[in-house]
Homo-oligomer: A and B are copies of this chain.
Amino acid sequence: MGELNDSYVKVAKLKGEFVWHHHPDEDELFLVIKGHLTVKLRDREINLDEGEFAIVPRGTEHLPVAPDEVHVVLIEPKSTCNTGNITDSRTIANLQRL
């Protein structure tokens, strides 16, 4: 939905458990617009309510989990793949522009 310097500002609806992954060279910001998001890390978890955000630093393994549908804004470099170092059926190769 927008560009911010070398990053895209993306909107996404998430539901369920994603896949453990990391982005070797890219930090990633999650901002919750509606609902609740848990970002599991290997040693702890971050719980985000509406209006809250967190930055997952590069190289940090994480697993986004949303028991109920959550609307999020993601800010990450244009080069970032949603599934990071993993390629599976959820990997999005072509983003849709709003």
Residues of A within 8 A of B (CB): 2-7, 9, 26-27, 29, 31, 33, 50-51, 53, 55, 73, 75-77
Contacts and interface: CB of A to CB of B under 8 A. Distances in A.
Nearest to A28: B4
Number of copies: 2
Contact of A55 (B9, B27, B33, B51): B9
A26 to B, nearest CB: 7
Interface of A is mostly: strand
A96 to B, nearest CB: 18
Nearest to A31: B31
B51 A29 contact: no
Nearest to A34: B51
**Interface core residue of A5, A27, A31, A50 (most chain B CB under 10 Å):** A5
